[in-house]
Each structure stands twice: as structure tokens, then as C-alpha cells.
């Protein structure tokens, strides 16, 4: 039986802790002029090179806006998703929970993006995807979500046609990874290439992180394909090309822009010569060159990644929309983004009914010549 | 067809050699110290990074370019350095769990592995990026239709050599005798004027150095190295050591042959083989352990009641 | 085994004022500490709170008498301690200042607490190293998700079905584990974990590497779990729904743990842990009890998986890797094997630390691992070591 003294002290303790907990922790004086934009991406872990480059693009755009005469003082909040859906959701909730954050951009990995967009949807916070290319993301047609990168479907189609006609390949062996990006590429290319009249000899999917492709390459050499299509990313592409040459397999290797990166040439070494990838054209853009110059001048610790410009563009789209509509009505903001026609480093960005960018994907073929990527003359 | 088979055979042997070098380290550490050193794979993968760094330092100072001389020197340096890192890891963390339940040591070494991995990523400039790793020997032989890189032969030769060396050391040298004494009974060994702590340090050095060789070969064979390659290397090396029978050198080699064999076989024969390679490798592990619970060549543990 | 033998008898005695004060102090102090930890963004405060936490345990390490006193206090005033604890848990979301982020952290921490408790049966009580808890978690989640998406089955039905499926898997896992010991057993479970993960990744009907999207949230009496709760004039974010669900699950797990621990099964497990051969000689059916351990672990893990799937509405094979199993194992070991409270604290610590140390961005993982190692060195028997069984009259 509790005697009254103890019961009282118990209640007092409860009341005390309740009142203490209700005291807001941390300053709250909101400056109307200060807003925050969020960035989520893989800045640790195996894909960090992509995330760091994109992060810098994000920060560059914000710095330029702040220097320029933007109606608000913008602060960038950078959060890591470590390519893990759960970490990504934690980051998303953190952003959504901060009343100063107006909008966000994010994700290189599709699984992470798929996990976080419901969070942004429930909070009605506008969110632009700068890297993840799974079609499922925009298929859901959540009003807050838009994407500035083309889906992999848009890139594989012209490549497949080019391979069938210009390259003259009849049988192609597909090597890819088991991620959604890799399997998506394998499926898309298979469909488009067979539609164009070619045949797929074999399809081999290896987990990301595979370092030994020799068994698969030996099999391909034996079967006698005309070319190899690789649907994965930079590291594995470099290793594959190097080992392809080592085994004495002398057929071209093609792919989409996933491994269009000087890192690939470094990794494959001399074997990189002759590799061909498709790359979205319309990139000869004075604004893009300006961005490259600004990036170098800024002196970031990391070099640019292929996604720097997408993150930069996404951030600028957000900044433009906020300038037009203001920060009070999130729904109006999302609508403004969807309806925007933005002139930027990617060309003229407009969004379709699902929030997917409509920039037509005209591809150039890039080939490695003399240790560098150059455009192939058609 | 012939070339196809020969090519795969060669792949198999080279992979086995590389795994064996790592598995030997696991076996040695478990056999002697009863320690499951989960971070062994990560320690081994430090070696290629040391090689890369040393080569760059040498080029900056003494050598004009990445000549074979520079590479050899760098590898030697890496092996010694990683051996010392192994000793350091023991001294800092692992030895505190000598008398603790085995699970504690296991979890501590898993955490230690993460620490080593993150340190590599942080200390090496742009550590998150994969680094190209030079082929130690570039020359190739043409035997009929087959391209045989001399490097593959080198790997196999070195591995066999290391196994022989380790065997000789363990069986025919005073050091080996002391190691076996400590393995058998730590306290009695102390009575025999053998210092267990020195023996532990020596064992960690040997195991880590051998693992370092494995790490360097792994990086060279793949052509690239990344800070988190140690996870898979360690996991496969560990599995090879276990199914062969922990504590048995021959077992480590046998285990490596089996795992590399399944890996190559599945990829060469099955259509979608590549995505299932890990599935089959680990199903093999389960299969072996069901049939032979202490590993194929493992000593069946006799419990005194 | 028999660590920290108490000098103070745990015989029945009436709860004194001092006892109640100790209980209130510890429970409320802990709640406050947790609250500040969750809500703050200031890294200095976070580090300070961690230091306070560690200092507390260092104190217990130096002066075991304090620990004994606290334990006897809780023992004497059990009902009051439980009551106060229940009140704190129920009221907690209202103290979170409407922060959906803090509630999210609590939900995840609680789910991991359930997983850690599940593993505790095997690892803590019976010393069976099981690295496949992540796989059971995944099977439960996928089962629940597939039933909900493809067949429109309600969450409350998928929960038990998924649990049963996972238990089946637990038995399958148990079979090869019968003959193997320790390290070899650990490897068998690791192998199983990896095989399951790869299969989930490869099969197209599990969504492959893309995973499953759009898992519906449960509804109860028309109230969907995605809608915020309005109670006593306060508005709680939708995460609160899942907070209460997860808390209920934790309570269920604790009750199971208690009942099993106090029953023949728990005794048999402990006997197995001490000496398997002797246990067998005593007539304990070793195989049956080992299988039970696997089954119970899988059962609870599947519950956690189903709730997780419904909460995040998206699962992929990467949620259930080997590293997840390792994390759960770390929670059990750091928290204290075979100690219910310890395991829960371990789970909370290891879930909240990586999130709260985001400040250190790049160095996050490094710091968490270093902290784990430090805690292991500081308290090798775990934060809350195993208590010897007490059969004092009550």
C-alpha cells in the first residue's frame, strides 16, 4: 500500500518531468527570411562518390542564390541515406519534421526513393528526385514528386536501335547487376533490341560488388556474341572491361550513361579503349559549361559526378518555384513545380502528367579514344 | 570446348588460392587462439591500399614510375605493415576478450571490422571511390586457344609455397612448436617458459601477413580495390576455413577449393548462374556442415564429461 | 554465469519509501534522458547525455552494491514499478512535442527491441548463435506484404499467418543446426541468412531487388493507421499509431520472455547453455528444446517484420541482410544476454545512436562501432548482466 507521502512525491515527480519535457528544446524564434532546403543522398558507403558530387551541386546552387539577391536566406540541410531505405526514411522524417524546411531533393538509389516518397507525400512536401531512375517512382504519380533525370527506358531505346543498325550487332550478351537499376536496364534493353530485330544471347546478372566476371566472360566467348551490353555501374563496368580483354574476348562493350565517367577509364586502364556508351545529348549548353566552371572555381573537395548537374538543376527549380509562389502554400508550390518550364543546365525542363521530365532523350554515342571519352561521329 | 574448360579450370584454381590464403589465417587464429577474428577480411584488404600508397610515395621520391621493383617493394612493405596492424588489433581490442564468452569476441571483432573499413575510407584520399589496382605481372602466354596470364600461375605458385612454408614453420621450427603448445594448453605452456602473449602476437602477425598476400592478390585479380571488399572476402574465407575444419591447414585449402569450385561451376553452366552463385556457395556450406558438423577435416571435439 | 551474486536477500519484503523513490527516480530519469536524447539536435548535448549514460554504468561497475540495491528495490515494489512504467510508455508520445521524427525513432527502436528479445531466447538463454534473425524478420515482412498486396488480406490476419510461415522456416533452420556447435552453428545460420536474402533478391514474385511497394496500413475500427490521432485535445502524428502497436508488441514479447524464462522451457535452455551433455544426461530432450528456441525466435521476428512492412509501406531485400542480423546480435550482447531489460536497452541504444550521430555524417558508422567496442570493454558481461534465478518466497 502506498502511503500518502510516497504517492504525493510520485505525483510530484511525474508532474515535474512532464513540465520539463514540454519545454521546447532548442531555440524557436523563426526568422521569416530564412528557409531550408533538404538534400538526401548516399554520402557514405559504396555509392558515396555519386552522392557527394550531387551534394556539391546542391550546395553550389544554394550559394549562388544566396550571393545573388534571393528573397530568402537559404540554408541547405544535407542528410545521408547510405543507400539504405531505412536510413533514408529517417532522414526524410527529420526533414519533414523541421518547420523551416520547405522542400527537398534526393536519392540516387531507387529503393530508397520508393521508401521515402510516401513520407513526403503525407507531409505534402515537394520533393524532386535527382538520381533514382526506376519508373515506379513517377508511375505512382504523387503530386509532390517530380524527377529531373530520364528513366532508363528513355536511354535504352535509342541505344538498342543504334546497336542493331549502326553497330551491326546481331547477337548481344547482356551482363548486368541485380539491383533494380541493373535488372531494369537488362529488361529494357532486351525488349528494345529484340524489337529492333536483334537477339539476346545470354543474360547474366551478378550482385553489385562482384569482382570476378571471368566465368561469365568465358561462357560468352564460347557462345560467340557480337557485343556485350553492360547494364550496371562504374566500378563493375571497369572491372568487366579489364577482364574481358584479359580473357582475350575481343568484342565491343556498350551501355548507357551509367558508367560514362572518367573513373571508368581509370579502372579499366588500357582496356577501356573502344568502349561505347549512349549519353543524353542536348548537353552542349552554355549554362552547363558555366556550371562546370563555377564548380571548379568553388573548390569542392570532391570532383563532379554525373549527377552534379541534375542536383543543381533540381535545386534551381525549387528556388525558382519558391521565388514565384512563396513558402506558405505547399500544395501550390508542388503545382508550380509541375507546371514549370525551366531553362537550365539540362536544357528546357518540363514535367509530364506523372512528374517525369519531358526532356527528349537524344543520345550521342561516346567512345573511349586515347584514354578519354569523345563523341563518336555518326 | 577445350579452351572453355581449361579457362574455367584456371579461374577455379586462382580463386581457390586467393581464398585459401585468407582462410589459412582464420584457421590459424581459431586453432591457436580460439578466436573468431571476423575482421580478418578487412585487415587483409588494408594491404592493397598500403601498396597503392607506398607506390605513390616511392614514385614521388626514388623511382621514376610504377616499375616492377617499386611494386615488389611496396608489396613487401604492405605485408609487414598489415602483419603489424593485426598485432595492433589484437593488443587494442581482441585480447580483452580472451576470457570472455566467445560471442563477445565475435561481436567485438565485427565492430572492429567496421572500424577498420571506415578508417580506410577516411584516411585514404577519396576513399569511397574504388581504386584501380595494377596487375602485378602483365605478361601473358598463349597456349593454343587459351590466354594464360602469368599472374594467375604466380598466384597459384605463391599460395602453394605459403602453405608449404606454414606447414614447415608449424611442424619443424621452435616457433611452430611453441604455437602448438599454446594452442593445446595455455597455462601449461606458461609453465614451460613460453610467453603466451608473445605467441599470440606472433600468431596474429603471421595470420595477418598471409591474409595480406591474399588481399593483394584479390585486388590485383579483380583489377580494382574498394574499402568494403573486405566483407565478402572475409565471409568467403571464413566459410572456406569452417567447412574445411577450423584449426586444420589442409582443411582451409580443401574448403577454398570447394567454394571456389561451386562458384565457378555455377557461373559457367547455369543460364542465370551468376545471380545464384552465393546461394549455391552457401547451400554447399550448409550441406557440408550437416554431414560433417565440425568441418570435413576438423577434429571432432571430444568433450570430457 | 552467476555474476553479481547479491548480498541482499531477495526475499519478500514490503516496499519501503526508499524503494519507491529509487524506482521513480530511475524510471522517470531514464524517460527524461531518452526524451532529451530524441528531441535534441545539438551534438554537444547528445555527447553529454551519452557520457551521463556511460558514467552511470561505470558507477555500477565500480560499486556493485548500488546495483544490488536498485535490483532489490525493483524486486520489492514490482507492481508499482510496472504500473509506473506502463504509464510512462502510454503518455510518452504526448511528450514528444508532435515530432514525427522522434516517434519514428521510437517505433523503429521498439521493433528492434522485439527482434532483440526474439534472439535473446536463443542467444541469451540457450547460447545458440543465430545469425539468421534477419532472415526470419524478412520472411515475416514479405509474407505479410505479399498477402496484403496480392490478396488484400487484412493486416490483423497476415500477422499470425506470417508468423506461422516464419516459424516453419525456423524449424527448417533448426534441423541442420542440431548437430553443429558454436562457430559451426554460427556459420550455418549465416549461410541460411545469405541464401534467404539472395533468393528474395532473385525471385520475381517477391518483387526482386525492387522490393514491394504500397503495402497498405492497418485499420482498426475505421481508423487508419496513417491518420493522426486526436486525443485529449492533442494531435499526435500518424507515427503514434504504430508506436502504440509496437509498444503492444514489445509488451507481448516481454510477457513471453518472462513466462518462458520462469517455465521448464527456460530452465531447459539455461541447462543447455551450461552444459549440453549434462542436460542430456538429465533427460532433457535437447533436440526438442533447441528447435523450440529457433521457432520462438522466428515467430517473434516475423511479428516485428509484419509491423515494419505495414509501417514503412515498402520493403526490399536489403532491409534484411546479414548486417541486420549482426546488429541485432550486437544489441543482445551489448545489452546483456538473457536479461530482458538489458536487451531492450541495447536495442534502443543501437537504433538511436546511428540516427543521433548524423551530425558526424561521414564519421557516423565509425563512431557507433567504436562506442560498441568501448561498451563491450567497459561491461563485458553486458550492460545488464544475467541475474541468477531467485526463488525467494513471495
pTM confidence score = 0.80
Contacting subunits of A (3+ beta carbon pairs below 8 A): B, C
pLDDT > 60? residue C43: yes
Is A189 among the domain residues? yes
The pLDDT assigned to C2 comes to 46
Range of the domain at B110: 20-239
Structural domains in chain B (count): 1
> Pairing mode, if any, of strands A276-280 and A342-344?
unpaired
> Pairing mode, if any, of strands A227-230 and A171-177?
parallel
Is B280 among the domain residues? no
Chain B neighbors of C372, CB-CB under 8 A: 107-108, 111
The pLDDT assigned to C304 comes to 92
Is A159 among the domain residues? yes
Confidence of residue B207 (pLDDT cuts 50, 70, 90): very high
The three cell numbers locating residue C63? 560499486
CA–CA separation, B207 vs B33, rounded Å?
Answer: 12
Chain A neighbors of C361, CB-CB under 8 A: 43-44, 78, 80
**By percentage, how much of chain B surpasses pLDDT 70?**
95
**Looking at the DSSP assignment, which residues form a beta bridge with residue A363?**
A280
Is B255 among the domain residues? no
CA–CA separation, A247 vs B264, rounded Å?
Answer: 15
Do A334 and A228 share a structural domain? no
Contact between C201 and C210 under an 8 Å Cβ cutoff? The reply is no
Is B48 among the domain residues? yes
The pLDDT assigned to B272 comes to 67
- Identify from A115, A124, A134 which residue to disrupt to test chain C contact, counting C C-beta atoms within 10 A and taking the largest count: A115
The pLDDT assigned to A14 comes to 44
Q: B273-278: list long-range contacts, CB under 8 Å, 24+ apart.
A: B273/A204, B273/A215, B273/A216, B274/A204, B274/A205, B274/A206, B274/A210, B274/A215, B274/A216, B275/A178, B275/A204, B275/A205, B275/A206, B275/A207, B275/C198, B275/C201, B275/C202, B276/C198, B276/C202, B277/A206, B278/A207, B278/C194, B278/C195, B278/C198
The minimum CA-CA distance between B183 and chain A, rounded to whole Å, is 36
What sign results for the dihedral spanned by CA atoms C162, C163, C168, C169? positive
Chain centroid to CA C133: how far? 11
Do A189 and A293 share a structural domain? no
**What residues contact A153, with CB distance under 8 A and at least 6 apart?**
A135, A188
CA–CA separation, A226 vs A242, rounded Å?
Answer: 18
Is B257 among the domain residues? no
Element (H, E) at A177: strand A171-177
Do A120 and A159 share a structural domain? no
Closest CA to C43 of C280, C358, C277, C261: C358
The three cell numbers locating residue C246? 509496437
> Pairing mode, if any, of strands B146-149 and A127-129?
unpaired
Three-class SS of C204-265 = CCCCHHHCEECCCCCEECCEECCCCEEECCEEECCHHHHHHHHHHHHHHHHHHHHHHHHCHH
Q: Which residue has cell 609453465? A: B191
Torsion of CA A14, A18, A19, A21, to 10 degrees: 140
The pLDDT assigned to C12 comes to 54
The pLDDT assigned to A12 comes to 43
pLDDT > 70? residue C366: yes
Q: Which residue has cell 547474366? A: A204
The three cell numbers locating residue C213? 511497394
Closest CA to C365 of B120, B219, B47: B120
Confidence of residue B20 (pLDDT cuts 50, 70, 90): very high
A251 vs B125, residue with greater confidence: A251
Is B171 among the domain residues? yes
Chain A neighbors of C328, CB-CB under 8 A: none
CA–CA separation, C169 vs C320, rounded Å?
Answer: 15
Do A240 and A368 share a structural domain? yes
- The per-residue pLDDT string of chain A (378 residues; one tens digit each, 9 = 90 and over) reads 444 444 443 444 444 444 333 333 333 334 457 889 999 998 876 677 778 889 999 999 999 888 888 888 889 999 988 877 778 888 888 888 888 898 999 898 877 888 888 888 878 899 999 988 777 788 888 888 989 888 878 888 888 988 888 888 889 999 998 777 788 889 899 999 999 888 998 888 887 777 788 888 888 888 888 999 998 888 888 889 988 888 888 899 999 877 877 778 888 888 888 899 887 765 567 888 888 888 888 888 887 777 888 899 899 999 888 888 888 888 888 888 888 888 888 777 888 888 888 777 777 888 888 888 888 875
The pLDDT assigned to A173 comes to 92
Q: Which residue of A has its CA nearest to C354?
A: A87
Chain A neighbors of B261, CB-CB under 8 A: none
Contact status of C324 with chain B (Cβ, < 8 Å): no
SS3 C12: coil
The pLDDT assigned to C114 comes to 93
Range of the domain at A288: 34-151+284-349
SS3 B100: coil
The minimum CA-CA distance between B42 and chain C, rounded to whole Å, is 14
CA distances from B164 to A236, B157, B167, B181, B245 (A): 35, 11, 5, 20, 18
What is the residue-averaged pLDDT of chain C?
A: 81
Tell me which residue in A48, A216, A302 faces B267 most closely, judged by beta carbons.
Answer: A216
CA distances from A135 to A54, A130, A176, A354, C383 (A): 21, 13, 18, 10, 47
CA distances from A63 to A52, A294, A333 (A): 16, 11, 22
Contact status of B90 with chain A (Cβ, < 8 Å): no
**What residues contact B67, with CB distance under 8 A and at least 6 apart?**
none
Is B258 among the domain residues? no
Is A192 among the domain residues? yes
Say if residue A374 is exposed, middle or buried (CB neighbours under 10 Å; 0-12, 13-18, 19+).
exposed
Phi/psi of residue A78, nearest 5 degrees = -105, 125
Q: What is the CATH number of the domain that holds A167?
A: 3.40.50.2300
Phi/psi of residue C153, nearest 5 degrees = -75, 140
What is the residue extent of each domain of chain C? Answer: 99-357
Do A259 and A309 share a structural domain? no
The pLDDT assigned to B17 comes to 93
Is A199 among the domain residues? yes
- Identify from A3, A17, A22, A206 which residue to disrupt to test chain C contact, counting C C-beta atoms within 10 A and taking the largest count: A17
The minimum CA-CA distance between B140 and chain C, rounded to whole Å, is 36
Phi/psi of residue C284, nearest 5 degrees = -80, 130
Q: Is the ipTM of this complex over 0.90?
A: no
The three cell numbers locating residue B10? 584456371
Chain B neighbors of A203, CB-CB under 8 A: 271-272
SS3 A343: strand
Contact between B193 and B175 under an 8 Å Cβ cutoff? The reply is no
Contact status of B268 with chain A (Cβ, < 8 Å): yes
Closest CA to A100 of A13, A27, A206: A27
Is B271 among the domain residues? no
Cβ–Cβ of B223/A239 closer than 8 Å?
yes
CA–CA separation, B74 vs A253, rounded Å?
Answer: 33
pLDDT > 70? residue B61: yes
The minimum CA-CA distance between A237 and chain B, rounded to whole Å, is 11
Do A191 and A78 share a structural domain? no
Element (H, E) at A118: helix A110-123
Report pLDDT digits (tens) over C277-321. 888 888 888 888 888 888 888 999 999 999 998 888 788 887 888
Contact between C376 and B103 under an 8 Å Cβ cutoff? The reply is no
Confidence of residue C390 (pLDDT cuts 50, 70, 90): low
The three cell numbers locating residue B235? 565471409
The pLDDT assigned to A81 comes to 87
Question: CATH: 2.30.30, 3.40.50, 1.10.260, 1.10.3470. Which one for C99-357?
Answer: 1.10.3470
C344 vs C206, residue with greater confidence: C344
Do A103 and A46 share a structural domain? yes
* DSSP classification of residue A164: I
CA–CA separation, A297 vs A320, rounded Å?
Answer: 24
Contact between A78 and A61 under an 8 Å Cβ cutoff? The reply is no
Cβ–Cβ of C188/B30 closer than 8 Å?
no
Is B90 among the domain residues? yes
Structural domains in chain A (count): 2
List the strands of the sheet with A34-41, edge to edge: A73-80, A34-41, A101-106, A127-129, A145-147
Chain A neighbors of C39, CB-CB under 8 A: 25-26
The minimum CA-CA distance between C179 and chain B, rounded to whole Å, is 6
Phi/psi of residue A368, nearest 5 degrees = -85, 120
Is A59 among the domain residues? yes
Cβ–Cβ of A212/B278 closer than 8 Å?
no
Is A26 among the domain residues? no
Chain A neighbors of C18, CB-CB under 8 A: none
CA–CA separation, A331 vs A314, rounded Å?
Answer: 18
Cβ–Cβ of C313/A118 closer than 8 Å?
yes
The minimum CA-CA distance between B4 and chain A, rounded to whole Å, is 6
The pLDDT assigned to C5 comes to 47
CA distances from A196 to A191, A206, C164 (A): 9, 26, 49
Chain B neighbors of A302, CB-CB under 8 A: 126
Do A190 and A303 share a structural domain? no
Q: Which residue has cell 521515402? A: A116
Report pLDDT digits (tens) over C220-244. 777 777 777 777 777 777 788 888 8
Contact status of C229 with chain A (Cβ, < 8 Å): no
Q: Which residue has cell 581504386? A: B131
Is A181 among the domain residues? yes
Do A306 and A168 share a structural domain? no
Chain B neighbors of A210, CB-CB under 8 A: 274
Amino acid at each position: 500500500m502506498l502511503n500518502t507521502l510516497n504517492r504525493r512525491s510520485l505525483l510530484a515527480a511525474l508532474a515535474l518531468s512532464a513540465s520539463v519535457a514540454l519545454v521546447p528544446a532548442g531555440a524557436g524564434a523563426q526568422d521569416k527570411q530564412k528557409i531550408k532546403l533538404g538534400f538526401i543522398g548516399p554520402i557514405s558507403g559504396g555509392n558515396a562518390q555519386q552522392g557527394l558530387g550531387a551534394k556539391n551541386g546542391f550546395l553550389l546552387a544554394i550559394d549562388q542564390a544566396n550571393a545573388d539577391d534571393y528573397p530568402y536566406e537559404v540554408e541547405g540541410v544535407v542528410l545521408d541515406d547510405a543507400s539504405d531505405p531505412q536510413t533514408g526514411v529517417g532522414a526524410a522524417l527529420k526533414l519533414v519534421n523541421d518547420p523551416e524546411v520547405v522542400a527537398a531533393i534526393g536519392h540516387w538509389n531507387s529503393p530508397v526513393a520508393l521508401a521515402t516518397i510516401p513520407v513526403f507525400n503525407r507531409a505534402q512536401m515537394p520533393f524532386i528526385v535527382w538520381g533514382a531512375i526506376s519508373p515506379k517512382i513517377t508511375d505512382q504519380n504523387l503530386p509532390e514528386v517530380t524527377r529531373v533525370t530520364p528513366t532508363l527506358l528513355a536511354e535504352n531505346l535509342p541505344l538498342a536501335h543504334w546497336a542493331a543498325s549502326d553497330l551491326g550487332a546481331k547477337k548481344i550478351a547482356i551482363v548486368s547487376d541485380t539491383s533494380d537499376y541493373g535488372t531494369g536496364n537488362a529488361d529494357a534493353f532486351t525488349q528494345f533490341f529484340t524489337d529492333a530485330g536483334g537477339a539476346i544471347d545470354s543474360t547474366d546478372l551478378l550482385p553489385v560488388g562482384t569482382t570476378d566476371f571471368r566465368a561469365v566472360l568465358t561462357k560468352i566467348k564460347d557462345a560467340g556474341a557480337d557485343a556485350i551490353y553492360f547494364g550496371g555501374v562504374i566500378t563493375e563496368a571497369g572491372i568487366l572491361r579489364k577482364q574481358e580483354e584479359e580473357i582475350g574476348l575481343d568484342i565491343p562493350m556498350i551501355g548507357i550513361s551509367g558508367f560514362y565517367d572518367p573513373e571508368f577509364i581509370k579502372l579499366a586502364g588500357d582496356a577501356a579503349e573502344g568502349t561505347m556508351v549512349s549519353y543524353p545529348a542536348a548537353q552542349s549548353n552554355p549554362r552547363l559549361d558555366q556550371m562546370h566552371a563555377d564548380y571548379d572555381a568553388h573548390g569542392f573537395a570532391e570532383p563532379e559526378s554525373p549527377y552534379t548537374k541534375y542536383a543543381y538543376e533540381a535545386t534551381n527549380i525549387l528556388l525558382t518555384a519558391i521565388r514565384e509562389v512563396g513558402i506558405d502554400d505547399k500544395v501550390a508550390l508542388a503545382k508550380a513545380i509541375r507546371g514549370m518550364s525551366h531553362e537550365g543546365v539540362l536544357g528546357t525542363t518540363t514535367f509530364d502528367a506523372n512528374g517525369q521530365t519531358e526532356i527528349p532523350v537524344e543520345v550521342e554515342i561516346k567512345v573511349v579514344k586515347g584514354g578519354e571519352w569523345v563523341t563518336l561521329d555518326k | 570446348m577445350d579452351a572453355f574448360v581449361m579457362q574455367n579450370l584456371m579461374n577455379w584454381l586462382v580463386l581457390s588460392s586467393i581464398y585459401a590464403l585468407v582462410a589459412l589465417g582464420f584457421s590459424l587464429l581459431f586453432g591457436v587462439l580460439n578466436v573468431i577474428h571476423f575482421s580478418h577480411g578487412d585487415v587483409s584488404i588494408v594491404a592493397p591500399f598500403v601498396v597503392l600508397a607506398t607506390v605513390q610515395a616511392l614514385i614521388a621520391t626514388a623511382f621514376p614510375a610504377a616499375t616492377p621493383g617499386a611494386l615488389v617493394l611496396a608489396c613487401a612493405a604492405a605485408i609487414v605493415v598489415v602483419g603489424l596492424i593485426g598485432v595492433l588489433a589484437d593488443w587494442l581490442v581482441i585480447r580483452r576478450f580472451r576470457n570472455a564468452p566467445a560471442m563477445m569476441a565475435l561481436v567485438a571483432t565485427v565492430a572492429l571490422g567496421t572500424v577498420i573499413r571506415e578508417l580506410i575510407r577516411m584516411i585514404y584520399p577519396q576513399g569511397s571511390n574504388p581504386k584501380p589496382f595494377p596487375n602485378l605481372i602483365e605478361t601473358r602466354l598463349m597456349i593454343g586457344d587459351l590466354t594464360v596470364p602469368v599472374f594467375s600461375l604466380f598466384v597459384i605458385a605463391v599460395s602453394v609455397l605459403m602453405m608449404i612454408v606454414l606447414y614447415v614453420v608449424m611442424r619443424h621450427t621452435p616457433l611452430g612448436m611453441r604455437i602448438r603448445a599454446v594452442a593445446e594448453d595455455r597455462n601449461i605452456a606458461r609453465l614451460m617458459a613460453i610467453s603466451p602473449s608473445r605467441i599470440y602476437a606472433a600468431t596474429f602477425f603471421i595470420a595477418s601477413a598471409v591474409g595480406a598476400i591474399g588481399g593483394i592478390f584479390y585486388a590485383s585479380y579483380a583489377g580494382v580495390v574498394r574499402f568494403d571488399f573486405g566483407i565478402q572476402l572475409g565471409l568467403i574465407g571464413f566459410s572456406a576455413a569452417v567447412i574445411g575444419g577450423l584449426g586444420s591447414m589442409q582443411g582451409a585449402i580443401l574448403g577454398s577449393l570447394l567454394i571456389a569450385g561451386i562458384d565457378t561451376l555455377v557461373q559457367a553452366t547455369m543460364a542465370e548462374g551468376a545471380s545464384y552463385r552465393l546461394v549455391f556457395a552457401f547451400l554447399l556450406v550448409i550441406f557440408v556442415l550437416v554431414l560433417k558438423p565440425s568441418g570435413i577435416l576438423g577434429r571432432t571435439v571430444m568433450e570430457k564429461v | 554465469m552467476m555474476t553479481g551474486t547479491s548480498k541482499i536477500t531477495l526475499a519478500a519484503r514490503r516496499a519501503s519509501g526508499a524503494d519507491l523513490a529509487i524506482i521513480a527516480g530511475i524510471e522517470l530519469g531514464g524517460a527524461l534522458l531518452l526524451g532529451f536524447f530524441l528531441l535534441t539536435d545539438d551534438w554537444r548535448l547528445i555527447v553529454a547525455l551519452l557520457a551521463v549514460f556511460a558514467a552511470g554504468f561505470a558507477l555500477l561497475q565500480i560499486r556493485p552494491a548500488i546495483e544490488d540495491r536498485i535490483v532489490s528495490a525493483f524486486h520489492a515494489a514490482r507492481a508499482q514499478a510496472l504500473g509506473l512504467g506502463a504509464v510512462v510508455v502510454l503518455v510518452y508520445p504526448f511528450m514528444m512535442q508532435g515530432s514525427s521524427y522522434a516517434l519514428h525513432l521510437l517505433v523503429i527502436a521498439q521493433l528492434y527491441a522485439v527482434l532483440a528479445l526474439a534472439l535473446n531466447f536463443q542467444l541469451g538463454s540457450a547460447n545458440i548463435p543465430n545469425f539468421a534473425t534477419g532472415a526470419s524478420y524478412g520472411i515475416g515482412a514479405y509474407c505479410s506484404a505479399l498477402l496484403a498486396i496480392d490478396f488484400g488480406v487484412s493486416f490483423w490476419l497476415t500477422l499470425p499467418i506470417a508468423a506461422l510461415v516464419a516459424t516453419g522456416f525456423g524449424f527448417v533452420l533448426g534441423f541442420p543446426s542440431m548437430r553443429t556447435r558454436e562457430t559451426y552453428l554460427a556459420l550455418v545460420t549465416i549461410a541460411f541468412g545469405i541464401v534467404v536474402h539472395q533468393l528474395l533478391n532473385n525471385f520475381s514474385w517477391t518483387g526482386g531487388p525492387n522490393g514491394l511497394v504500397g503495402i497498405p496500413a492497418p485499420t482498426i475500427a475505421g481508423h487508419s493507421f496513417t491518420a493522426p490521432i486526436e486525443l485529449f485535445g492533442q494531435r499526435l502524428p500518424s507515427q503514434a499509431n504504430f508506436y502504440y502497436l509496437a509498444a503492444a508488441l514489445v509488451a507481448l514479447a516481454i510477457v513471453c520472455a518472462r513466462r518462458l524464462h520462469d517455465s521448464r522451457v527456460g530452465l531447459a535452455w539455461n541447462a543447455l547453455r551450461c552444459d549440453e551433455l549434462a542436460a542430456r544426461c538429465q533427460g532433457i530432450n535437447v533436440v526438442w528444446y533447441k528447435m523450440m528456441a529457433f521457432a520462438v525466435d522466428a515467430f517473434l521476428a516475423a511479428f516485428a517484420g509484419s509491423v515494419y512492412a505495414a509501417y514503412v509501406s515498402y520493403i526490399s531485400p536489403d532491409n534484411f541482410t546479414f548486417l541486420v542480423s549482426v546488429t541485432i546480435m550486437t544489441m543482445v550482447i551489448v545489452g546483456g544476454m538473457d536479461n530482458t531489460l538489458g536487451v531492450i536497452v541495447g536495442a534502443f541504444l543501437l537504433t538511436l545512436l546511428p540516427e543521433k550521430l548524423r551530425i558526424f555524417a561521414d564519421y557516423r558508422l565509425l563512431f557507433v562501432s567504436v562506442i560498441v567496442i568501448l561498451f563491450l570493454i567497459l561491461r563485458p558481461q553486458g550492460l545488464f548482466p544475467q541475474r541468477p534465478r531467485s526463488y525467494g518466497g513471495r
